[in-house]
Amino acid sequence: MTERVRTTRGSDDRRLAPGVERTLITGGAGFLGSHLCDFFVEKGHHVVCMDNLITGSMDNVAHLFGNEGFSFIKHDVTEYIYVEGRVDNILHFASPASPIDYLRLPIQTLKVGSLGTHKALGLAKAKGAKFLLASTSECYGDPLVHPQSEDYRGNVNPIGPRGVYDEAKRFAEAMTMAYHRYHGLDTRIARIFNTYGTRMRLDDGRALPTFMRQALRGEDLTVFGDGRQTRSFCYVDDLVEGLWRLLNSGEVEPVNLGNPQEMTVLSLAEKVAGLCGGGKEIVFKDLPVDDPKVRQPDISKARRILGWEPKVGLDEGLRRVFAYFKERAS
């Protein structure tokens, strides 16, 4: 059932000032979605945040309540989506996004990638809205090509435990392109690589918040495998800027968005331990099934088409988020 929380007089389009765009963000109370809500409100859009709060949190958007440019609807996007009035843009970010979440919620993850994407695209078609899909680097699976460019088709195990997320996003990309080709919908696809920043849950299972939580609580840091698998970490502000540029571009095929600065997971653990005061032991556990051995975006296309590349290095980004994690780990 849809629960409408009217936080502003602008919750439909009848009182919007001329020229104000109205943007729906599904999954808007999640980590990335909430940062997008902030960004689009600051850009002068009226933002409709939609979330069923299965992994998102009202705490992430509480500061926007009472803002004339923001409203919230509690709704599961796998059900029919109704938004009254005009909608100019839809950013589809609804989905569990961390392994601990999509392994705990496998059916919901598959449904939001398939049914949820279908419902969101249907709304975009009905409203004549521009549509941006949050896809993922997990479309590349455990890649045999390095770094990964958009023309690489991936190495995904469709029946493995991670397949519920990987294949949901691959289906979502196919559905988005079908709506573009068959219905002429104005669509965008962002393949998002590992992103970090404030509002990440300490218990979401991803490497950075897990290391931060463990180090700040004086616990051993858990590294899977031998730690030589690589990742590339993009600060959330950089990613949001890339998404904004992609939305306003004319590119309909997938674009990688991430930071190409590659490092091993063991190096990240050591860096976090040093930032948090050192003295922590690193313990090794078995590598999860189908865990990617390498992950690094080729962002040549984003540089060429969007004029975008990350500006915040990992050391600076970690300093920016340290206080946030420290407060929540205490």
Residue 141's CB: how many other CB atoms inside 10 A? 23
Written as six digits, the tokens of 299 are 């962002």
66: left (phi over 0), alpha (psi -120 to 50) or beta: left
Q: What DSSP line would sit under 67-128, residue for residue?
A: -TTEEEEE--TTSPP---S---EEEE--S--SHHHHHHSHHHHHHIIIIIHHHHHHHHHHHT
Which candidate in 165, 179, 196, 235 is catalytic?
A: 165
Q: Give the SS3 label for residue 147.
A: coil
CA distance 244 to 94: 17
Cis? peptide before 209, omega within 30° of 0: no
Q: Specify whether 165 is catalytic.
A: yes
CA proximity to 131, closest of 56, 23, 28: 23
Written as six digits, the tokens of 44 are 């002068």
CA proximity to 98, closest of 192, 176, 25: 192
Residue 101's CB: how many other CB atoms inside 10 A? 21
CA distance 303 to 318: 24
CA proximity to 79, closest of 106, 55, 107, 52: 52
- The strand pair at 3-5 and 70-74 is best described as antiparallel
Residues with active-site annotation? 165
